[in-house]
Amino acid sequence: MNHTKGGLVIFTANSHPSSRELSKRIAERLGVELGKVQVYQEANRETRVQIQESVRGKDVFVIQTVSKDVNTTIMEMLIMVYACRTSCARSITGVLPYFPYSKQCKMRKRGSIVSKLIASMMCKAGLTHLITMDLHQKEIQGFFNIPVDNLRASPFLLQYIQEEIPDYRNAVIVAKSPASAKRAQSFAERLRLGIAVIHGEAQDAESDQVDGRHSPPTVKTTGAIHPSMEIPLLIPKEKPPITVVGDVGGRIAIIVDDIIDDVDSFVAAAETLKERGAYKIYVMATHGILSSDAPRFIEESAIDEVVVTNTIPHELQKLQCPKIKTADISMILSEAIRRIHNGESMSYLFRNIGVDD
């Protein structure tokens, strides 16, 4: 890798030891030392940041990986960015491999679009550029009024499939729901493999159907609405029983997704694939949040291996479940930092990547 120009400072915002590993890998690849900074919690849980070297007129990159305490992670990032801004840094680039609250990017009834709030806070704190990876929805980039580079982890996951899965030519790429079919199609086209899609959901027990919980209201109420202005009611959605569109019998099934957190849906998908004749089941995802009892559920399930990248620290989960493997993505993050600092084009990192990837 080419050396960077002078004036580059890399800070790691997270004070948790396991979260510093990715920052160390990136700094080593760039041939620089991590910047000197103290990040700690006061007795009253307030976050305090003390930058211990000059950043005046320099390009600052703040690397932040999401720990278990997501809200503290965000505050550490915001306070460090603001500290660099008030210390007259020339530019401040945030490197968030996993963007927190990315699942809350759509309006749900009386909820809020939290991703938009986080984006506004980061811009207000002084961020001038953002590097992230595999946003849950690509439209999140529009929440920022600064440049956002949404890198892809798929090349590393594809490389893992080709190098670490024996007889991967006998595999089929599986989308555990129609919503993830585009990602599965992208993987299948690059590996020259077939695709399967799981559709539907487990049906409720018979007692649930007859106890009245699914019954419509007995009285049709219109309230104060004038009869001529009555809004027609939509028929509620009803998913069919689980079906697998595509042949997985006697094949290796590779389930692909962007985030694996609550593993219930993955475990259910693996059981369905086993019933349909798949003899080995892999799960590939970019972000391995793996919260709560996810490692135990994976260990007890029909899943043979779960492969995630190191966008989020998961060393503890790996100790609890040997089925969890890691693909390192520090190379593409360090190259993105180098190119931005040197003023080079970023298009090389997005070669052969389509709009729907």
CATH number assigned to the domain comprising residue 166: 3.40.50.2020
Is 353 contained in some domain?
A: no
Same domain, 90 and 126: yes
Given 119, 151, 183, which residue is the final one in a domain?
A: 151
Is 229 contained in some domain?
A: no
d(CA 288, CA 294): 10
Is 299 contained in some domain?
A: yes
Same domain, 13 and 96: yes
Residue 69, classified by CB atoms within 10 Å of its CB into exposed (0-12), middle (13-18) or buried (19+), is middle
d(CA 8, CA 341): 7
Same domain, 65 and 146: yes
Same domain, 101 and 165: no
Q: How far is CA 159 from CA 153, 308, 356, in A?
A: 10, 13, 20
d(CA 283, CA 321): 14
What angle separates helix 21-30 from helix 330-342, to the nearest 10 degrees?
50
Is 208 contained in some domain?
A: no
Q: How far is CA 272 from CA 174, 179, 215, 260, 275, in A?
A: 12, 18, 29, 18, 5
Is 108 contained in some domain?
A: yes
Same domain, 165 and 298: yes
Same domain, 91 and 183: no
Same domain, 179 and 310: yes
Residue 195 structural domain: 155-201+240-327
What's the confidence (pLDDT) of residue 205? 46
What's the confidence (pLDDT) of residue 310? 94
Same domain, 64 and 177: no
Is 207 contained in some domain?
A: no
Contact 326, 310 (CB under 8 A): yes
What's the confidence (pLDDT) of residue 207? 42
Q: How far is CA 81 from CA 88, 93, 158, in A?
A: 11, 9, 34
Contact 94, 77 (CB under 8 A): yes
End-to-end CA distance of the chain: 27
Contact 119, 137 (CB under 8 A): no
Is 284 contained in some domain?
A: yes
DSSP line for 136-190: SSGGGGGG-SS-EEEE--HHHHHHHHHHHSTTGGGEEEEESSGGGHHHHHHHHHH
User: Which stretches of the chain drop beneath a pLDDT of 50?
Assistant: 1-2, 205-209
d(CA 117, CA 200): 33
What's the confidence (pLDDT) of residue 231? 79
Is 215 contained in some domain?
A: no
Element (H, E) at 226: none
What's the confidence (pLDDT) of residue 1? 42
What's the confidence (pLDDT) of residue 208? 45
Same domain, 267 and 284: yes
Show the tokens assigned to 201: 């959901």
Contact 318, 297 (CB under 8 A): no
- Total domains in the fold of the chain: 2
Same domain, 142 and 246: no
Same domain, 124 and 195: no
Same domain, 178 and 319: yes
What's the confidence (pLDDT) of residue 357? 72
d(CA 231, CA 246): 40
